[in-house]
Amino acid sequence: MALIPVGGGRGVDPFEEFRRMQSEMNRMLERMPTARVEEFPPMNIWTGEEGIVVTMLVPGVEEGDVDITLQEDTLTIKGVRRPSDEGEGVTYHRRERSLGEFARSVVLPYRVDADKADAMFDGGVLGVRLARPEEDRPQHIKISGL
């Protein structure tokens, strides 16, 4: 059932403001995480009962150029993004991608088992899975019958 604007389209539509705000919010949210972030590479930290997963966007970084170290409760991911060598006679028209070395450190909220850490690298996305030691995991307490 089609809604006819109030006043045949020339009057005030009470929902106009809402729609305008919504589309403006959508545009703002789209613009925010562009590749021009101050921190390269951008990282998300996910927590769960089993431990922590850190995902990082590292396009153009070779697997061999990433160094992940875990010391006590600090995870450090270092690496370098190299420009592709195109030889002589090349001029840049646009340069928006940040190249060179990067290093990010994060202090984890709890200790993790370094032996069980594992990292995946796929399509420019690095994922580091850190397991919480068994004894540190939250214990579910059963409520016994009253």
Partner 1 sequence: MAKESRVPVKESEGRAVAEPEKIRTAPVFTPAADIREKPDGILVELDMPGADADSINVTFEKRTLSVYARGRSTKPSGYTLSHGEYRDGDYERSFTVSTLVDGGKIDASYSAGVLRLFLPFAKEAQARTIKVKTR
Radius of gyration of the chain from its Cα atoms, rounded to whole angstroms: 24
Nearest to 96 by CA among 37, 142, 56: 37
Calpha distance 132→110 (Å, rounded): 8
The least CB distance from residue 49 to partner 1, in Å, is: 8
Please state the closest distance from residue 142 (CB atom) to partner 1, in A.
22
Instruction: Return the residues of window 52-81 that contact partner 1 according to CB under 8 A.
Output: 52-53, 55, 57-62
Is position 37 an interface residue for partner 1 (rule: CB under 8 A)?
yes
The CA-based angle 99-104-107, given to 5 degrees, is 175
Give whichever of 1 and 143 is closer to partner 1, judged by the CB atom: 1
User: What are the residues whose beta carbons fall under 8 Å from the beta carbon of 138, sequence distance 6 or more?
Assistant: 49
Strands 125-131 and 51-57: antiparallel
Residues 97-126 close enough to bind partner 1 by CB under 8 A: 97, 106, 109, 123-125
How crowded is residue 132: how many other Cβ atoms within 10 Å of its Cβ? 20
In the chain, the amino acid numbered 62 is E
Q: Which of 4, 14, 71, 91 binds partner 1 (CB under 8 A)?
A: 91
**Taking the complex as a whole, how short is the minimal distance between the CB of residue 127 and partner 1, in angstroms?**
7
CB 63 → partner 1: shortest distance, Å? 8
Q: Kindly list the residues in this chain that would bind partner 1 in the complex (CB under 8 A).
A: 1-3, 5, 9-10, 16, 19-20, 23, 26, 29-30, 33-37, 39, 42-50, 52-53, 55, 57-62, 83-84, 86-87, 89-97, 106, 109, 123-125, 127, 129
